[in-house]
Amino acid sequence: MLEEKIPKGVVFGVFDVFHIGHVKMLEWAKTQVDYLIVGVNSGINLAPHKNKPILNPEERLYLVSSCKYVDEAFIFDTEEQLHAYQEEHLDYARIVGSDHDNKFSGDFLPIETVLMHDRGHGYSSSEMRKRIWKAENDKNM
């Protein structure tokens, strides 16, 4: 934990399917900043190799907003919107998962502070999808 919290921080993600790994990351982020903002990717322009979200953007926004560590959340559609938001708020800490290996949307911007969250757990949306798929298949056998 930082000695003194940063006033505001922002994290961006799809948050589908919302799971304990997301909550753990948001919990950690809130220990670093006083005010935590989350940008929820609508999924409209995801890379072709990414899984299409199961939940719609409003459902994911509702879940993220309901998390007690989140002070504010919004939906964005494009990388351009994400970059514009970051450009307007260069003083906000940018919070990213260590799985991004210092490569993230807007990494070219002169953001004052980038905080890397060490995942340190096996939770991922892809893993949750596999568990759901397996449970459904096991049920039908």
Name the residue among 49, 48, 68, 54 with its Cα closest to residue 14. Answer: 54
Chosen CATH of 6-139 out of 3.90.700.10, 3.30.470.20, 3.50.90.10, 3.40.50.620 = 3.40.50.620
C-alpha 37, offset from chain centre: 10
Supply the pLDDT for residue 103.
64
Name the residue among 47, 7, 48, 22 with its Cα closest to residue 123. Answer: 22
Supply the pLDDT for residue 34.
97
Is 93 exposed, middle or buried, given 0-12, 13-18 or 19+ CB atoms closer than 10 A? buried
Give the Å distances, CA to CA, from 57 to 41, 62, 121, 126: 7, 9, 25, 18
Annotated domain spans of the chain: 6-139
Q: What is the pLDDT of residues 83-114, one digit of tens each?
A: 899 889 989 999 988 776 666 666 667 788 88
Q: Would you place residue 32 in the very low, low, confident or very high pLDDT band (cuts 50, 70, 90)? A: very high
pTM of the model: 0.84
